[in-house]
């Protein structure tokens, strides 16, 4: 077993001193805060990614520098494991420890301890692929990351400026190249070709859909959407708005998936004609929110829950039509944020499981099914197919022409989906495929079920760790007695439902509420938020005031 080059690591670490006043935490989205404070974190993530690769016998680890839907001054970084999935949760703690070592000496000691306790063979080569979004702080943070990789002599590949889903795709394809589990070509062109070819095959023989308006959040998704245009040719037209990646401050500013979901309205830069449908990506193109204007020009949102019901129902139909419904079981995974109406609609058709918030929980649960469908209400999601299900669909032959055609459709559905992570553009093409096959407009899609009005309120607290949940984050265990007060409030509202959960990344507590009317959902949310604020002992002048 080789030894750490302590001198090289320490010297390079000294170039990236940790700010003494900040405690970093690897949360559900990795590290995420103001970009200008992350220099030391990126250096240390470089070292950590290399160690993770060595631990996994030299498999390639991914590093994505992005802050997704956050404001432009923020930035962040997350690690991607070999199959394109999120970093194993036990290593999140290692990331937090390394990021918070107060100085270079302490950092080297922490690295050494990780090597010893995890039994990492340092003689194994380390391989890392990384990419970034369009944020102004990206280049400096990538330079710090490379310093960390070079300090530990890792091989690395710079995938440049690209979307988070492309980085996940690259990690998976690099690690499966030349194997029977090959996921595709390990290039951006391979990604574009695989998805666009499958999409065009799914549209073949169908009426050409009207052009789709895509709000790119003035982020990196604009670059990828523009590239897809060339690959799709005349088969499908997309019109891009909010595609300005050069104007400082434009990223996610009054546009994008998060803006539409939180505000439940169109970005001010978009006007829809009656009957027109459109969608919004977020800043790194891993979230998707659809919407349309009805015949009166009124806005209607089609969020992750609506995408789940559309996609899951379609896949169930295909599996049944292919004669595989006895061998392939389709399941849906949701979080507590899923609209109650969507859960009710789906539960009558297929298994539905609720898990804690966070992609890693959803993705892991999805992989327990032959076909697992998950889309968080915020628009982040995908569909996973087990190796056995893929093999069965791939090898199945039928003399029945209808069944044979359905099997081909299923194969194309598998290829149009980026199974590694939520992918806004891939998901949009999947949605468009379903709409084309069902001859649905936005109105017909929306009418599958009617959303219960809901409201999300954020409460700033001094210590989010004081709030502990159970039952997939639907009930509070601590502070003691608070859940009983929430239950008492909920009972006063027809169709009422509310839950309280701490954020995974900042000292805030999120309160979600549903009821049969908009006014009651708002009122319930703010009353529960008031309970949370009082329990946290907050400054009464900053207590949520609406409806209280």
Query: DSSP letters of 268-311?
Result: TT----TT-EEEEE-TTS--EEEEEE-TT--EEEE-HHHHHHHH
Summarised one tens digit per residue, pLDDT across range 406-455 is: 999 999 999 999 999 999 999 999 999 999 999 999 999 999 999 999 99
> Which pairs count as long-range contacts for 83-89, CB under 8 Å and 24+ apart, including other chains?
83/171, 83/172, 83/175, 83/420, 84/168, 84/169, 84/171, 84/172, 84/183, 84/419, 84/420, 84/421, 85/360, 85/363, 85/420, 85/421, 86/359, 86/360, 86/363, 87/26, 87/30, 87/52, 89/360
547: pLDDT strictly greater than 50: no
Of 234, 265, 299, at which residue does a domain stop?
A: 299
Provide CB contacts within 8 A for 295, sequence distance 6+. 274, 275
Average pLDDT, the chain: 95
Instruction: Measure CA of the first residue to CA of the last residue in the chain; give whole Å.
Output: 64
pLDDT value at residue 110 = 97
Domain check: are 393 and 469 in the same one?
Answer: no
d(CA 335, CA 380): 12
In a domain, 180, yes or no: no
Q: Say whether pLDDT at 548 is over 50.
A: no
Task: Note whether 78 and 146 are same-domain residues.
Answer: yes
Note if 90 is an active site residue.
Answer: no
Give the pLDDT of residue 75.
Answer: 97
Q: What integer pLDDT is reported at residue 45 of this predicted model? A: 98
Distances (CA, A) of 479 to 2, 486, 542: 49, 12, 20
Statement: residue 504 has pLDDT above 90: no
For position 488, which CATH number holds? 3.30.310.50
Residue-wise pLDDT tens digits, 152-194: 999 999 999 999 999 999 999 999 999 989 999 999 999 999 9
Q: Give residue-wise pLDDT tens across range 358-399.
A: 888 999 999 999 999 999 999 999 999 999 999 999 999 888
* Per annotation, catalytic residue among 13, 40, 53, 68: 68
Angstrom distance (rounded) from CA 142 to CA 134: 12
pTM of the model: 0.94
Q: Identify whether 219 is part of a domain.
A: yes
Do 371 and 385 touch, CB atoms closer than 8 A? yes
Mean pLDDT value of segment 99-117: 97
Q: What is the CATH number of the domain that holds 425?
A: 3.40.120.10
Q: Does 419 fall in a domain?
A: yes
Residues 428 and 328 in one domain: yes
CB of 73 closer than 8 Å to CB of 34: yes
**Residue 206: pLDDT over 50:** yes
Domain ranges, residue 133: 6-161
Indicate whether 178 belongs to any domain: no
Mean pLDDT of 6-20: 95
Q: What is the pLDDT of residues 298-347, one digit of tens each?
A: 999 999 999 999 999 999 999 999 999 999 999 999 999 999 999 999 99
Q: Given this model, what pLDDT does residue 84 score? A: 96
Describe the chain by its helix, strand, coil percentages, rounded to 5: 40, 20, 40
């Amino acid at each position: 077993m080789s030894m750490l080059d302590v001198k090289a690591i320490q010297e390079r670490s000294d170039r990236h001193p940790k700010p003494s006043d900040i405690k970093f935490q690897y949360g559900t989205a990795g590290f995420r805060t103001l970009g200008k404070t992350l220099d030391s974190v990126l250096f240390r993530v470089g070292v950590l990614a290399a160690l993770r690769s060595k631990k996994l016998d030299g498999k390639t680890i991914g590093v994505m520098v992005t802050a997704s839907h956050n404001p432009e001054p923020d930035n962040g970084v997350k690690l991607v494991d070999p199959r394109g999935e999120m970093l194993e949760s036990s290593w999140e703690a290692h990331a937090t420890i390394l990021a918070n070592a107060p100085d270079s000496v302490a950092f080297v000691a922490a690295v050494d301890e990780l090597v010893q306790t995890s039994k990492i063979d340092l003689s194994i080569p380390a391989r890392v692929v990384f990419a970034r979004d369009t944020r102004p702080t990206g280049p400096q943070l990538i330079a710090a990351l490379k310093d960390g990789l070079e300090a530990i002599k890792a091989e690395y590949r710079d995938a440049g400026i690209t979307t988070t889903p492309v980085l996940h795709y690259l990690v998976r394809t690099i690690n499966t190249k030349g194997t029977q589990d090959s996921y595709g070509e390990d290039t951006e062109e391979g990604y574009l070709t695989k998805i666009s070819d499958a999409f065009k095959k799914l549209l073949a023989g169908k009426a050409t859909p009207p052009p789709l308006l895509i709000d790119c959040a003035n982020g990196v998704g604009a670059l990828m959407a523009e590239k897809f245009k060339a690959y799709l040719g005349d088969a499908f037209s997309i019109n891009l708005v909010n595609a300005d990646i050069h104007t400082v401050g434009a990223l996610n500013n009054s546009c994008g998936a998060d803006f539409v979901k939180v505000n439940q309205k169109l970005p001010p830069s978009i006007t829809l004609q009656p009957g027109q449908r459109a969608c919004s990506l977020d800043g790194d193109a891993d979230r998707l929110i659809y919407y349309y204007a009805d015949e009166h020009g009124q806005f209607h949102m089609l969020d992750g829950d609506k995408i789940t019901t559309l996609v899951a129902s379609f896949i169930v139909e295909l599996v049944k039509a292919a004669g595989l419904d006895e061998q392939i079981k389709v399941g849906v995974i949701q979080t507590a944020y899923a609209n109650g109406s969507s859960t009710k609609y789906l539960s009558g058709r297929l298994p539905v499981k609720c898990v804690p918030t966070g992609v890693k929980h959803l993705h892991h649960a999805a992989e327990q099914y032959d076909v697992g469908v998950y889309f968080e209400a915020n628009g982040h999601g995908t569909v996973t197919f087990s190796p056995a299900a893929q093999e069965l669909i791939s090898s199945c032959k039928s003399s029945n022409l209808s069944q044979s055609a359905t099997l081909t459709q299923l194969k194309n559905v598998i290829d149009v989906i980026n199974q590694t992570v939520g992918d806004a553009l891939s998901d949009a093409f999947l949605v468009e495929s379903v709409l084309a096959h069902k001859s649905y407009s936005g109105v017909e899609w929306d009418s599958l079920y009617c959303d219960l009005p809901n409201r999300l309120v954020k409460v700033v607290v001094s210590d989010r760790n004081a709030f502990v949940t159970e039952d997939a984050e639907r009930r509070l265990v601590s502070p003691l007695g608070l859940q009983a007060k929430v239950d008492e409030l909920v009972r006063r509202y027809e169709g009422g439902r509310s839950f309280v959960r701490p954020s995974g990344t900042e000292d805030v507590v999120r309160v979600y509420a549903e009821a049969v009317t908009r006014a009651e959902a708002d009122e319930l949310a703010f009353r529960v938020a008031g309970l949370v604020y009082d329990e946290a002992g907050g400054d009464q002048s900053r207590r949520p005031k609406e409806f209280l």
